[in-house]
Structures are given as C-alpha cells and as structure tokens.
C-alpha cells in the first residue's frame, strides 16, 4: 500500500482555542481544532482510542493552569544573557513622553503609584497635571473603579491639549468627590488655550446608567466645572466576543453565496463595532488637533475600550505612531503598561470564558482599516499587524503575559522571557510598507479618516489568512518591493558605471 506524504503542520499548543471530537465516520474519528489565529484544522484519527487520547492531551496543553506552564518560559533562542537584557531595553516609554515634551511646567512625572500602592493595575510611573497634589490624586483614585484615577496618555506639545484616561467614577446616583473634581479641574488648567474639556464615556449610555445602580456610573456635569460629556456607544466585551464568533462562522462557510456572506457579516455586527471604535478615536483626535481641547476617556474599568480609542486617536494624531517603532511603543504604553488584561482577554490560562474578548483584535483591525485608506501614511504593512496578533496569543514572548505591570514584575518576565519587539525589529524588512512616504503632505499631522459604510473592507488577510485559495500568489506589496530592489540595483550599477567613465575622462590625454 502506497503511503501519501501529507504536508507538515506545526501549531503551538498555546494557539489552540478549542478541540472538538466529532462523531465517528467509516474513515475514522474526526478531530476539529480551532486556533486563536483563525486557523482551522481537521484531522481523521484511525483509532477511536487514539483520537480520545489526543483530544484530552490537546485540551490539557491548550489550557494551562499557571503562568509557569506558558511557552515563553521555556522558549530559549540562541542568544546570550546580555542580548536578552538588551531586548527589553529596546523600547523606552520615558523617551516617548520626552518626545512629547514632558515633563514640563504643566505636567509632571508622579511617584504616587510607586510599588502600585494606589492602583495595582496602573503603571508605576504616571504623568499627571503639575498642580495635582498627592492627596488629590489619592482621593480621586478612591472615587474611581479599581483606583484608576485620571492620568496622561498623550500630550500635544503644539497646542497643550492632552488625552487622559481613567476608569468610571463611583458616583452612583448622587455621590461626589471633591478630590476627583479637583483632578479634572487640574487637567483643564493644564491646557491654557481651552476653557473646557471633554469627558468621553466609551460605553452606550444605557449601560452607564445601569452601572449607577451598582454605585458606579459617570460624571455629573453639575459637579464638574467646564466639562462637556460625550457617550460614544462601544459595546462591552461580551457583545464583542459573540460578534466575532458569528463573523468567524461566516468565514468558515464553504463556497458561500454572495448573499450568505454579506448577510452573515452584517448580522454578526462586527463591522459596526469596528466603526464605533474608529468613530470614537476620530472624535478624540479632532478634539485635540482641531479644537485644541483636552479629553478624559474612560469606560468601566478603563482597560478595554479606553485602550482602544486612545490608541486609535494617537495613530490618527501622531505620525510617529504610524512607524514600526512608534506603533510598538503605542501598544506598550496604552495596552501593556496601562493594564489591558491580556491573559484574561486572550485566554492564556484556563479561566472564566466570559473574560475572553477580542479587544486587541479590534485595535489591530482599526489600524488596518486606516492603512487601507492611507496606504502611504504607515511605515509598516499588514504582515506586521498579523505578526503582533499571532504573538499576542502564541505566548512565545513575554510582552503580553499577565494582566498588568505588577503581575509581570512578580513573574520576573524581563528576567525569564524574551521580548517580541526586538524580534520584529530584527526582521523589519518583512514588515516594511514599500508605499510609505513620511514626508508627503497627506501623511503628516491628523489623518482625516472616513467611517462611511463604503470605506470599510473585510480583512481576509487576518480572518482567512490560512485559506490560501483566497490570496494571490504574489501580493501587490511584494511586487512593489521587488521593483524597488531592482531599481536600487540598477541605480547602483549606473553610479558605478558613471564613476568608471569619469575616471577615464579624468586621465591625461596622450
């Protein structure tokens, strides 16, 4: 009997999302594996007992119970200890704040959260208004969910407008806090060119009102001077999880009709949610760039929707965050440092399935949608975003392990694991956009993005990345890169020939 050689498939067990054993067939026992990077694998195991054993093994391996079981703590590339330490020094968040012109006479680096004694989910180093005293900061933290008081995310040194972030206030129906009111007043005074500031609640208004019954909620405009309140209506993690699942079911349809695909995509609501995140980011970016107004952003706990819209606003506002290194800094600042719950949301460990949600997926898709609208404005390409997505879930690197900075210190992540950012930087030629034109007028300053329905595309490069029949054999990007390389070689040859010819011309005549 002739054996058929099948292609080898390698999947990290940390990327396995679910393993389902299907009903036996005459050819064997089917095993269906869904991966977090949207790969779907079908196996036929000849013997039922073997299928049962493989099923149990994969379930156990894909649901570790402790951080020490994750791949990053066993991953040992061929680098010495000095190189490993240098990996973690590759990005410097203080340098990014310095690039913004901080600290200055309006904003200071506060030591109030050293040792995470005020908020255990915030970074240790935070910028706050110069006039905000420790008692005001601590008082504000006691009036905010999880102690996440208003802190600086982005500062525009050209007009002094700032983007700050926090969690929801514990206001209930009537509670107020003098220190929290003083904190917002300090943020307002830190922008001498504006006499008001926006408070953007990223939740639907009904959700925020419902939270009031639990003693939480949103700011009462009567208690805070000179604020303008804005709801932007981004749904919660549970809605997003269900929406993506419905969208992925559409992606897995075999030979769907046009109506099946479009109706399924529409009923999932996925594109509507992407639009909501982009709309919020656009509102904040315009407030900063066009009105010169500071903005405080929050959701419930301030680590999901808040991270999304602050990041989108920064990408729209600042060309630096549209570079390879700048986007790494942005993820490190607004997601890793500010306590997005990566391990809960990405199901790194066995736990409550209701905590899982594709929040980082949505941020990456928002950026991809912007790249489609502004193809010359981004130094990085689609592969870069997909690589980040893959490694958020793979647990190969330590950057996204844990749910906040304090947990990573306790796990000694910098001492025991490797950093993704230096790896991506070392391979940056694979992730560079050949269309990038940093000095073009349309790529400078604020990107004026559209969220009209016809501006959106389905991201098959991510959600159907393993369906090779959907993708061209050579992408336009690869073709452009090949032309660039050929052009560079021809220019070098021309320069060489010109120099040789000049040498002959300079020789004395006989």
Separation between Cα atoms, residue 386 and residue 367, nearest integer Å:
11
Pick one of 3.30.342.10, 3.30.365.10, 3.40.50.1370, 2.30.29.30 as the CATH number of 13-74.
2.30.29.30
Nearest CA-CA partner of 31 in 47, 20, 23: 20
pTM (2 d.p.): 0.91
Place of tokens 């959700």: 207
Annotated binding residues for substrate? 236-237, 299-305
| Stretch among 187-196, 361-370, 500-509 having the lowest mean pLDDT | 500-509
pLDDT of residue 493: 81
Residue 468 has pLDDT above 60, yes or no: yes
Nearest CA-CA partner of 170 in 108, 212, 233, 230: 212
pLDDT of residue 471: 61
- Is 174:120 a contact under the CB 8 Å cutoff? no
pLDDT band at 480 (very low <50, low <70, confident <90, very high): confident
Annotated binding residues? 236-237, 299-305
Residue 465 has pLDDT above 80, yes or no: yes
pLDDT tens digit sequence for 3-20: 566 677 889 999 999 999
Residue 434 has pLDDT above 80, yes or no: yes
Concerning whether 164 is annotated as a catalytic residue, the answer is no
Separation between Cα atoms, residue 428 and residue 379, nearest integer Å:
10
pLDDT tens digit sequence for 231-277: 999 999 999 999 999 999 999 998 899 999 999 999 999 999 999 99
Torsion of Cα atoms, 238 then 241 then 243 then 246, to 10°: -130
Between 207 and 482, residue with greater pLDDT: 207
Choosing from 299, 346, 366, 395, the catalytic residue is 299
Q: List, by residue range, all CATH 2.30.29.30 domains of the chain.
A: 13-74
CB-side exposure of 79: number of CA atoms within 13 Å? 16
């Amino acid at each position: 009997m002739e054996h058929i050689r099948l292609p080898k498939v390698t999947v990290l067990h940390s990327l396995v999302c679910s393993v389902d054993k299907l009903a036996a067939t005459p050819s064997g026992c089917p095993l269906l594996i869904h991966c977090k990077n949207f790969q779907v694998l079908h196996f036929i195991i000849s013997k039922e007992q073997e299928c049962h054993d493989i099923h149990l093994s994969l379930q156990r391996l894909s649901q570790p119970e402790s951080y020490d079981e994750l791949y990053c703590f066993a991953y040992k590339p061929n680098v010495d200890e000095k190189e490993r330490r240098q990996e973690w020094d590759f990005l410097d968040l203080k340098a990014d704040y310095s690039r913004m012109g901080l600290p200055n006479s309006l904003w200071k680096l506060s030591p109030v959260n050293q040792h995470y004694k005020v908020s255990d989910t915030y970074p240790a180093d935070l910028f706050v208004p110069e006039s905000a005293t420790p008692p005001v900061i601590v008082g504000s933290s006691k009036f905010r969910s999880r102690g996440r008081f208003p802190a600086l995310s982005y500062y525009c040194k050209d007009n002094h407008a700032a983007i700050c972030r926090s969690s929801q206030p514990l206001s209930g129906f009537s509670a107020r806090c003098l220190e929290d009111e003083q904190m917002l007043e300090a943020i307002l005074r830190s922008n001498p060119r504006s006499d008001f500031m926006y408070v953007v609640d990223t939740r639907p208004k009904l959700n925020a009102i419902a939270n009031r019954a639990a003693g939480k909620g949103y700011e009462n405009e009567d208690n805070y001077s000179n604020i303008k309140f804005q709801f932007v209506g981004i749904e919660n993690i549970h809605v997003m999880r269900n929406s993506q699942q419905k969208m992925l079911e559409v992606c897995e349809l075999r030979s769907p009709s046009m109506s099946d695909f479009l109706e399924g995509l529409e009923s999932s609501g996925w594109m509507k949610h992407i639009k909501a995140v982009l709309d919020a980011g656009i509102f904040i970016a315009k407030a900063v760039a066009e009105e010169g107004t500071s903005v405080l952003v929050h959701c419930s706990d301030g680590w999901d929707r808040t991270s999304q819209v602050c990041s989108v606003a920064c990408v729209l506002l600042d060309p630096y965050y549209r570079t390879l290194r700048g986007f790494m800094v942005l993820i490190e600042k607004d997601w890793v440092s500010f306590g997005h719950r990566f391990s809960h949301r990405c199901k790194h460990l066995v736990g409550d399935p209701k905590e899982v949600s594709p929040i980082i997926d949505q941020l990456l898709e928002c950026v991809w949608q912007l790249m489609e609208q502004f193809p010359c404005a981004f130094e990085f390409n689609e592969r870069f975003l997909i690589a980040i997505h893959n490694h958020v879930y793979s647990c190969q690197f330590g950057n996204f392990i844990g749910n906040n900075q304090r947990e990573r210190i306790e796990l000694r992540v910098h001492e025991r694991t490797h950093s993704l950012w230096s790896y991506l930087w070392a391979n940056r030629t694979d992730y560079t956009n050949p269309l990038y034109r940093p000095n073009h007028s349309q790529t400078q300053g604020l990107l004026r993005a559209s969220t009209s329905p016809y501006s959106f595309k389905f991201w098959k490069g991510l959600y159907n990345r393993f369906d090779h029949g959907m993708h061209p054999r050579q992408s336009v990007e690869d073709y452009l890169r090949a032309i660039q390389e050929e052009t560079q070689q021809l220019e070098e040859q021309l320069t060489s020939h010109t120099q040789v010819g000049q040498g002959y011309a300079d020789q004395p005549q006989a």
